[in-house]
A and B are shown apart, each in its own frame.
Chain A
Amino acid sequence: MTANAMQIQVNGERRACRSGSTVGDLLRELEINTERVAVELNLEILERKEFELRDLKEGDRIEILSFIGGGAPTILGGTRKA
Chain B
Amino acid sequence: MQDDRLVIAGREFKSRLWVGTGKYKDFAETRKAIEVSGADVVTVAVRRVNITDRSKENLLDYIDPKKYTILPNTAGCYTVEDAVRYARLARAAGVSDLVKLEVLGDEKTLFPDTAGLIEAAKILIKEGFIVLPYTNDDPIVAKKLVDIGCPAVMPLAAPIGSGLGIRNPYNLKIIMEQVKVPIIVDAGVGTASDAALAMEYGADAVLMNTAIAGAQDPIAMAEAMKYAVHAGRLAYKAGRIPRKLYATASSPIEGML
Which A residues have a C-beta under 8 Å from some C-beta of B? 10-13, 30-33, 35-40, 45-48, 63-80, 82
B residues less than 8 Å from A73 (CB atoms): 75-76, 102, 104, 110, 160
User: By the criterion CB–CB under 8 Å, are A78 and B45 in contact?
Assistant: no
Interface residues of B in 180-223 (CB under 8 A from A): 187, 207-210, 213-216, 218
Inter-chain contact B46/A71, CB cutoff 8 Å? no
Q: Chain B residue with minimal CB distance to A64?
A: B49
Is the pair B210, A71 in contact by a Cβ cutoff of 8 Å?
yes
Residues of A within 8 A of B209 (CB): 70-72
* Min distance, Cβ A75 to any Cβ of chain B, angstroms: 7
**Which residues does chain A contribute within 8 Å of B46, judged by CB atoms?**
38, 65-68
| Cα separation A45 to B127 with both chains bound (whole Å) | 14
**Partner pick for B23 among A36, A40, A69, CB 8 A cutoff:** A69
Interface of A is mostly: loop
CB of A79 within 8 A of CB of B215, answer yes
Enumerate chain A residues within 8 angstroms of B52, measured Cβ to Cβ: 13
Which of A36, A63, A71 is close to B73, meaning CB atoms less than 8 Å apart? A71
Contact A66 B23 (CB under 8 A): no
CA distance A40 to B46 in the complex (A): 13
Number of interface residues of B (CB under 8 A): 52
* A78:B59 contact, CB within 8 angstroms: no
* Interface, chain B (partner A; CB < 8 A): 19-25, 27, 30, 43-49, 51-52, 54, 58-60, 70, 72-73, 75-76, 88-95, 102, 104, 107, 110, 160-162, 187, 207-210, 213-216, 218
A/B pair count, beta carbons within 8 Å = 150
Q: List 21 A-B contacts (CB under 8 A).
A: A31-B54, A36-B94, A37-B93, A38-B92, A46-B92, A48-B94, A65-B46, A67-B93, A68-B45, A68-B46, A69-B20, A69-B30, A69-B59, A70-B43, A70-B209, A71-B23, A71-B43, A75-B110, A78-B23, A80-B215, A82-B25
Q: Please determine whether B51 and A64 come into contact, CB atoms closer than 8 angstroms.
A: yes
Given the interface pairs A72-B20, A79-B216, the reply to whether A66 lies near B54 with Cβ below 8 Å is no
State the Cβ distance, A68 to closest chain B Cβ, in Å. 5
Name 7 extra pairs, CB < 8 A, besides A66-B58, A71-B209: A38-B46, A38-B89, A70-B20, A72-B23, A76-B160, A79-B215, A82-B25
Given known contacts A65-B93, A66-B46, A73-B110, A36 and B210 CB-to-CB distance under 8 angstroms: no
